[in-house]
Amino acid sequence: MEYLSGGFGEEDKTMAYHARTNLVMLVTIAGLAIFLYIKPQSQDPQGYKLSSLSVDAVDQIRIVHQDEKIILKKTANRWYLTEPLHASADEIKVKRLLEILSVRSNHRLPLDDLERFGLDKPNAQLYINQEIFNFGGITPITHEQYVAVGESVYLVSPRYAVMLPSQPVNLVSPRLLPETEAPVRFDLAGFSVSQLDETWVISSDASGQLLSPEEIFRWVQSWQLAVATHLSLSMEKLDSVGVSAEQQEIKISLQNGQSIHFRIQQNEPELILTHVEEGISYIFPNELGKQLLDPSYAGSRHALP
């Protein structure tokens, strides 16, 4: 029998080569899989989450600066300040406060030396439900801030501490009428505007002009959409005694049977309306102030704030 020289030998070598290559690839893949499985949490590129609390579960927030504190509570899916004043909260600013719940940090340290992290006297404290966030010092290298949560210290951007206001008025909604408060009647000096069968009517027009229902509705909208450019706390206690002609009061009756009272503190060169019950002053530019106080002006301008 005649044998072919070198035929099977070359084929065997090729098969052996491929077998070794496949074995190396199999070992590599298996090693990678084992590495990914046992990879320590500290190497997670997403970092460490400061809290496991859900935003939807939050119903109380407390901010402490030294001895001053601000308390907010959520009622019927709306946020309100309850201390040191009572007012509707700015929903956008509250959402920014709660952003810290989703923050992840690349560094987590044990809470073993408060003074080292500037946490022996925190710059500020944020209480979200029962969870406490203590804000300490700033690292000189990365310019991140130490934040203590539970038994750990994390490094995060300083912007979360910057968003904590020291003055409660900075968390008050700049809207004159929150969306949840539906007006049914406005009483101003010399005239009133009320809702009758889903149509707004005016009882008296001081300017003598006849306004259409659409123009009156635009005026009502100007109140519903009015956003103050600045807010301030009134330094004086407001009451019904000694109200001058310039400080006329505006009464707004709501659908829920309650009413809101504003006092005109100033109407030139800007309008300042002070919420009598809350003691908060809302400041508006001259143009918008004229629209709010005069339905005929709002109707003629066809403008909304």
pLDDT digits (tens, 9 = 90+) for 211-237: 888 899 999 999 999 999 999 987 554
Q: How far apart are CA 180 and CA 161, in angstroms?
A: 30
Confidence band, pLDDT 50/70/90 cuts, at residue 28: low
Question: pLDDT tens digits, residue range 15-27?
Answer: 555 566 655 555 4
Q: Minimal CA–CA distance to 100: which of 62, 76, 133?
A: 133
| Residue 250 vs residues 142, 190, 247, 299: alpha-carbon distances, Å | 53, 11, 10, 19
How many other CB atoms are found less than 10 A from the CB of residue 43? Answer: 6
Rounded Cα distance between 94 and 79, Å, is 8
- Number of neighbours of residue 50 by Cβ within 10 angstroms: 23
Tell me the average pLDDT across 182-189.
Answer: 94
Whole-number pLDDT of residue 206: 52
pTM of the model: 0.76
Nearest CA among 294, 259, 256, 255 for reference residue 276: 259
